[in-house]
Amino acid sequence: MARSDSDIIQDVDGLADSSLERQTHTCQRPSLRSASIDTLRRILDAVSIEPFLLRSLTMVAPPAGTRGELFRLFAARAARRFRGREGAPDAERLLELLERRERELPTVAPEGIAFPHAIDEAIPESLIGAALLRPPVNFADAGPPVRLSFVLFGSGATPIVHVRTLARLARIAHDEVGRRRLVEASDDADLHRRILEEDLKHH
């Protein structure tokens, strides 16, 4: 059964990083759950994921049979992007952030799509990646196996970008036709292209 826009609002608010809450308490981020549908759409339309989606973080059938293996792969590739930047976190730190966030509040949606994410002051820029998992991977004892996982690394200096990109990905994943197109991607480049095409449909 297709889920409503109000379900998306609840999902997005539930996925908002608890560390983001702590870092943005002074600006009193409004709850997306209490926002109107029109307000939510304006928020989502204000950002495109194209500047943040990396080809090197977009993978079809990566060598990952567990959640930990997938997170380690994401963390290693993101760390290579940050290499040489003063104070930037290494792969082990990024892995720790992803695992801690997933333990605190799992990010797997009922459709079998996950949105693991991490935000930290030391992360120098916001990044998005995606992995199409064949076969699907169990992220936890309960919940559906994950066949598509997005990943977000957010800069603590711009937390609102993290929230908006997360919300936009949730909206893309909510569309049943678009979701089917993503899981049918043939290779890394094809998945990257299809994600950007789906994003354009929501402008």
pTM (2 d.p.): 0.80
Q: Residue 184's pLDDT band (boundaries 50, 70, 90)?
A: very high
Cβ atoms of residues 124 and 156 within 8 Å: no
Q: What angle do CA 118, 48, 130 make, to 5 degrees?
A: 45
Q: How many other CB atoms are found less than 10 A from the CB of residue 110?
A: 11
Q: Is 144 exposed, middle or buried (0-12, 13-18, 19+ CB in 10 A)?
A: middle
| Per-residue pLDDT, 18 | 43
Residue 17 confidence class, pLDDT cut points 50, 70, 90: very low
> How does residue 14 score in pLDDT terms, banded at 50, 70 and 90?
low
Runs of H (alpha helix) within the chain: 5-15, 18-23, 37-45, 67-82, 91-104, 159-174, 176-183, 188-200
For residue 173, give the nearest of 132, 143, 142, 141 by alpha carbon. Answer: 132
Q: Is the pLDDT of residue 23 over 70?
A: no
Report the pLDDT averaged over residues 108-125.
Answer: 94
CA 97 – CA 53 distance, rounded (Å): 19
pLDDT for 90: 98
pLDDT of residue 167: 85
d(CA 64, CA 69): 5
| Radius of gyration (C-alpha) of the chain in whole angstroms | 16
Give the residue-averaged pLDDT of 164-185.
Answer: 91
Task: Check whether 26 has a pLDDT greater than 90.
Answer: no
Which is more confident, 42 or 25? 42
Residue 9: what pLDDT?
39
pLDDT at 165 over 70: yes
Number of neighbouring beta carbons within 10 Å of residue 92: 12
122-158 pLDDT per residue, tens? 999 999 999 999 999 999 988 899 999 999 999 888 8
Residue 42 pLDDT grade (very low, low, confident, very high; cuts 50, 70, 90) = low
112: its two tokens:
């079998």
Q: What pLDDT sits at residue 45?
A: 53
Name the 3-class secondary structure at 133: strand
d(CA 184, CA 25): 41
Does residue 193 carry a pLDDT above 50? yes
CA distances from 120 to 19, 56, 96, 124, 167 (A): 8, 21, 11, 9, 18
Give the pLDDT confidence score for residue 181 in this predicted structure. 96
pLDDT of 101 over the 80 cut = yes
Q: Which residues contact 9 (CB under 8 A, 6 or more apart)?
A: 32, 33, 35, 37, 40
